[in-house]
Structure 1
């Protein structure tokens, strides 16, 4: 990944590359840049992520972004993202082992 030196730009560029129906966690996005800054990735997504497929970045355990569960579910259904039933407030989570994506995956 080419970098202009801005972690914000790098994160948004990576999120833009996540294929339809696939996801990364906040932590895995940070780890792609050698960082442990999952919270920072979350802050970047909250502030600047509206123009990228934000629903493809999920919380650990396969849970959708807090406060956006219903809107994210619409995207997951359209993209055929693998889902599982859950006792969480959202009532679902992403099937992380099947839906996970990393830079360099086919």
Structure 2
């Protein structure tokens, strides 16, 4: 994986506003990648300074090993879960094309 891919994923995650979420697949699509797994790998290795908690599985669930902390961070931003599932319909961020990281304006 090249540095450009790495930085593009980081830029997308950094741009998710408080109170909103994206799925790993959403991040991949916005970053121009084919695989959501790459997003997960990057976040697993390099997310300390990113709002990693705003990235969820496509069904709105969080990673089991991060569950308590991730839901706590989301709750602090006003993102409420039903059990361990966040409503993607309600909280998914849909960036306008011109505000997407890497877009030419």
What secondary structure, in the 3-state scheme, does the structure 2 residue paired with 1:9 have? helix
Q: What residue number does 2:102 align with?
A: none
Per-residue deviation, 1:103: 2.4
Q: What residue number does 1:99 align with?
A: 91
Q: What residue number does 2:49 align with?
A: 51
Q: What residue number does 1:10 align with?
A: 8
Task: Give the ranges of 4+ consecutive aligned residues of structure 1 lying more than 6 Å apart after TM superposition.
Answer: none
Between the two structures, name the one with larger relative contact order (CA 8 Å, sep ≥ 6): 2
Does the CA-based 8 Å contact 1:21-1:82 persist in structure 2? no
Per-residue deviation, 1:36: 1.9
Point out where structure 2 has 5 or more consecutive residues left out of the alignment: 100-105
Aligned mates of 2:93, 2:36 — CA distance in 1: 16
Q: What residue number does 2:60 align with?
A: 62
Point out where structure 1 has 5 or more consecutive residues left out of the alignment: 86-91
Does the CA-based 8 Å contact 2:21-2:56 persist in structure 1? yes
**TM-score, normalisation: structure 1:** 0.82
**TM-score, normalisation: structure 2:** 0.83
Per-residue deviation, 1:7: 0.8
Q: What residue number does 2:80 align with?
A: 82
RMSD: 1.7
